[in-house]
């Protein structure tokens, strides 16, 4: 948390005894950091995204960088799926069923989230 404060990702208040106090906005920022770190997003991009969301303004450069990063992630996922398809050729029926059920649930959740965002 101290590192995130130093690089400007978090902006905690200080108590009278100098403890950091994190408000709801900071907790949301931490959750965003966790999510974007899982996607291998660099901290400087995460900071730009958080700043953009908290200020409610859109910087074209930050937005384009974010969209480019998402596009790269999607390309990587497509490659992972192709690799998984090759692996599935060597799995037995039960293994394939387990994998497909898991992927189907995740895909359905992703589609629902995308639809909820745009409609």
Is the domain of 49 the same as that of 12? Answer: yes
Look at the pTM and tell me if it is higher than 0.95. Answer: no
Q: Please check whether residues 53 and 98 belong to one and the same domain.
A: no
Q: What is the pLDDT along the chain (119 residues), one digit of tens a residue?
A: 688 888 888 888 888 998 988 888 888 888 888 888 887 788 888 888 788 777 776 677 777 877 887 788 788 878 887 887 788 888 898 988 888 888 777 776 776 666 666 55
Q: Looking at the structure, do residues 103 and 83 belong to the same domain, yes or no?
A: no
**Residue 58, domain CATH:** 1.10.1660.10
In this structure, the answer to whether residues 45 and 82 fall within a common structural domain is: yes
Domain of 98 in residue numbering reads as 89-119
Residues 98, 82 share a domain: no
Return contacts of 21-25, CB within 8 angstroms, 24+ apart. Answer: 25/54
How many other CB atoms are there within 10 angstroms of residue 100's CB atom? 11
Q: How many domains does the chain have?
A: 2
């Amino acid at each position: 948390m101290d590192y995130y404060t130093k690089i400007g990702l978090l902006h905690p208040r200080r108590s009278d005894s100098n403890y950091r106090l994190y408000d709801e906005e900071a907790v949301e920022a931490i959750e965003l950091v966790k999510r974007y770190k899982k996607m291998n997003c660099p901290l400087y991009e995460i900071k730009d995204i958080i700043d953009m969301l908290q200020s409610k303004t859109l910087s074209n450069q930050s937005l384009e960088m974010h969209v480019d990063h998402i596009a790269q992630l999607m390309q990587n996922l497509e490659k992972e799926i192709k690799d998984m398809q090759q692996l599935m050729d060597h799995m037995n029926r039960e293994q394939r069923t387990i994998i497909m059920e898991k992927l189907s649930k995740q895909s359905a959740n992703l589609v629902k989230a995308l639809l909820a965002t745009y409609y």
